[in-house]
Structure 1
Amino acid sequence: MADRGVRGEEPLNREPKISKLASVSITEDGYERNHCVQPAAEQLNARTHSVQVDGAVKEPLNLSITSLRTDFPQHEVICALQCPENRRHGMRTLVKEVQGIDWVNGAVMNCRWRGPLLKDVLGKAGIADSVEQEGTHVAFTSFQVKCQEDSWYGASIPLSRALDPDKEVVLALERNGKPLTIRHGYPVRVITPGVEGAKSVKWLDKITVQKEESPNYYMQRDYKTPLPQAVDSETAEKYWGVTPPMQEMPVNSVVVSPRKGDTVKRNEEGKVVCHGYALPSGDGGSVVKVEISADGGLTWSEAALEQHEGEGKWAWKFWRASVNMAPGNSGTILSKASDASGQTQSAVSPWNLKDVCYNGFGEARDLTVE
């Protein structure tokens, strides 16, 4: 299937062409996933914008962008931000129909994000003495634009994650060494490494420490994996309230080249060169292995992993391999990633109505081998 790029115009939903996306380790042209139109340029101003910190804190704060930049240590983290709907086309075509935009493999970006750690901002506000970490959440809110299914956009993560320095949750002011653009959350957005991208709220207005998850529609009725018995919108109704929102992402990999339907040439050794990217699970540590199969998964060989400066455990990994393939039609290359925690891709993900977190084997099918 060819990369189609734009998945929706208003609001804009777009993924870059996969060959361009995976041509460099640090992404410049990242995907765009929106549930609302982008705020107008005149609506957002770094000189006047502020972020309110409230809820179960000792001292509510109202922080300007200047304060976020100068009153706290600045932290840089390289991480892959990914839409949980990435690879939805795989579930739709390999298993059965699902609801939602038909994302292929490009709803992911690997960037350098810089700004104060959320734990430092919450440290300045002080968590109320009565708060127990278990069951408490930190909610992020943007009131800038009305969404398709709610009047505002919001999400939340557990307080324990927000306060853990190893989780590196950042209030990002910069992306790849430059101020954020509006399409990527200017003037400030949350970045939650290892957590699905819908929690990395753009155009951030407010941070609230509270006993419950964010009540926003997209937290409560969208980015969840209801039981397989939820086969349509009607049958899903009784499951939304008892299905926890997604947080961490699963280990994953994608074959970037060749693509489905390509004609490929073998080299002098009778092998086909292939490459792609792999993503770690939420807290599973770096991708440590990618295996490739050209015989439907009967045998596997290990791919070479590229190393990039400063990448750390949240970053994607590029892989490259050469596999033996006989001449003919209907050739298939599969990829399977494993991370430091031992988590590994399975052949196909369990079906869910929204098809979030699809992580079946990466694949390039219907290859003509010459």
Structure 2
Amino acid sequence: MVQLEYSVEEPLNREPELEKLVESFITKSDGYDRNHGPIPHLDAKTHKVSITGLVINELSLSVSDLQSLPQHSVICALQCAGNRRHTMRTKLKEVSGIDWFDGAVMNCKWTGPLLRDVLDKAGVKVEDKEWKDAHVAFSCFQTPTQDDDFYGASIPLSRAMDRHRSILLALEMNDKPLPANHGAPVRVVTPGIAGARSVKWLDQISVQMSESKSYYQQHDYKVLPPEADTKEKAEEYWSKVSSLQDMPVNSVIGMPKSGSTVQRDTDGTVQVKGYALPSGADGPIVKVEVSVDGGKAWADAEMIKAYEGEEAKDVELKWAWALWRAKVKLEKGKDVKIYSRATDKSGNTQKESPVWNLRGVAYNGYGEAFGLDIV
């Protein structure tokens, strides 16, 4: 059983220990939880999702209706926008938000109809050439939130209509019905995009020419410029800065744990293991490197075979995380540091440190295990 660490107990916000998280390519039931309010327990037999806005036919779809559409599966890493916020807070300067460490991410198999198929069923009334300027807004009215009277988010219509983006209305997680804490009976899954847009307990989908008006689209998840360094200064920027969509390339060292005592193998090496995430739609991860000299020299890590079994050839790993491992030679010593950096298929590579932002979102500096006592 994975031990989950609580960042905030009410509403439920927690993440697993990194060493346990990177043991399995598929994250089982004990993934991170991110909530802005209480977890509702909805009846799948009566719950419906309405399709409204700029559509030819407004619809009210039951879970059975969604199950009757062609089902699509995708293995994708769902990541909180604030994953690694603690690192930005401690390495750069103070930020505003829950003190997430490096475990606010989970890699799961999600199954349900494509959002595109649902929108086609309703009939989108926006011309193709205008898709890039239109939006699909998702809303949950099932639970009170801390900053608004509903939880909402949106993505560009152009992405929603792109089948290759594999955006789902997920009904299953890891071949089982969604659990309540992960959005049962239906949630949005937006591969490569910040987890804040993957709305749980979905009530409504609206095609519209503006973004969601929800606080969580307009204010919460944006990479503000460094000069917006107080909540008061941020007020003039919220309406000017784009909402966070694609998450950046990233890697994290899950083992050894920072601050731990590490026993070398007989050959003087130490085992290092972690995960890596591609940038947006630019996956999969193609390379992870590690450094034991502060980033002067790098050595390739081994990519752990991601998915096995008869169905492996049919699994798209573009949106998934990659697990990796390396053996590095280290001398005995204290306060030893190991870095990792990842590169995805499109050539995006982690930098040592990103630019600071007030909300501490989208942090993707080098993965790091520090304060190691090598014996």
| 2:370 corresponding residue in structure 1 | 365
**One-letter amino acid matched to 1:104:** F
CA contact (8 A) 2:22 2:273 kept: no
SS of the aligned residue for 2:118 comes to helix
Q: Distance in 2 between matches of 1:367 and 1:222?
A: 35
| 2:7 corresponding residue in structure 1 | 7
The 1:213–1:362 alpha-carbon spacing in structure 2 relative to 1, beyond 3 Å, is same
The 1:130–1:286 alpha-carbon spacing in structure 2 relative to 1, beyond 3 Å, is closer
1:114 aligns with one of 97, 111, 114: 111
| 2:174 corresponding residue in structure 1 | 176
The 1:130–1:266 alpha-carbon spacing in structure 2 relative to 1, beyond 3 Å, is closer
Q: Deviations over 1:41-86 (max 9, x none)?
A: 3xx111110000010011111100000001x100000000000100
SS of the aligned residue for 2:20 comes to helix
SS of the aligned residue for 2:363 comes to coil
Deviation at 1:263, TM superposition (A): 1.0
Q: Deviations over 1:241-285 (max 9, x none)?
A: 000000000000000000111111222222111111101110112
Q: Distance in 2 between matches of 1:354 and 1:82?
A: 16
CA contact (8 A) 2:19 2:257 kept: no
SS of the aligned residue for 1:149 comes to coil
Q: Distance in 1 between matches of 2:15 and 2:361?
A: 16
The 1:324–1:130 alpha-carbon spacing in structure 2 relative to 1, beyond 3 Å, is closer
1:93 aligns with one of 90, 94, 97: 90
| 2:312 corresponding residue in structure 1 | none
Matches for 1:146-161 after TM superposition, within 5 Å: 146-161=144-159
| 2:39 corresponding residue in structure 1 | 38
| 2:277 corresponding residue in structure 1 | 279
Runs of 4+ in 1 over 6 A off after TM superposition: none
**One-letter amino acid matched to 2:254:** V
Structure 2, unmatched stretches of 5+, are 308-314
**One-letter amino acid matched to 2:133:** G
Deviation at 1:325, TM superposition (A): 1.1
| 1:216 corresponding residue in structure 2 | 214
Pairwise CA RMSD of aligned residues? 1.1
**One-letter amino acid matched to 1:321:** A
Aligned length: 364
The 1:297–1:130 alpha-carbon spacing in structure 2 relative to 1, beyond 3 Å, is closer
| 1:69 corresponding residue in structure 2 | 67
Deviation at 1:129, TM superposition (A): 5.0
Q: Deviations over 1:198-227 (max 9, x none)?
A: 000000000000000001001000000111
Structure 1, unmatched stretches of 5+, are none
> Percent same amino acid at aligned positions?
54
| 2:346 is the alignment partner of 1:341 | yes
Bigger shift: residues 306-315 or 276-285: 306-315
The 1:311–1:110 alpha-carbon spacing in structure 2 relative to 1, beyond 3 Å, is farther
SS of the aligned residue for 2:236 comes to helix
| 1:127 corresponding residue in structure 2 | 124
| 2:204 is the alignment partner of 1:206 | yes
Q: Distance in 2 between matches of 1:169 and 1:330?
A: 44
2:357 aligns with one of 352, 357, 369: 352
Question: Scaled by the length of structure 1, what TM-score is found?
Answer: 0.97
Q: Distance in 1 between matches of 2:200 and 2:132?
A: 26
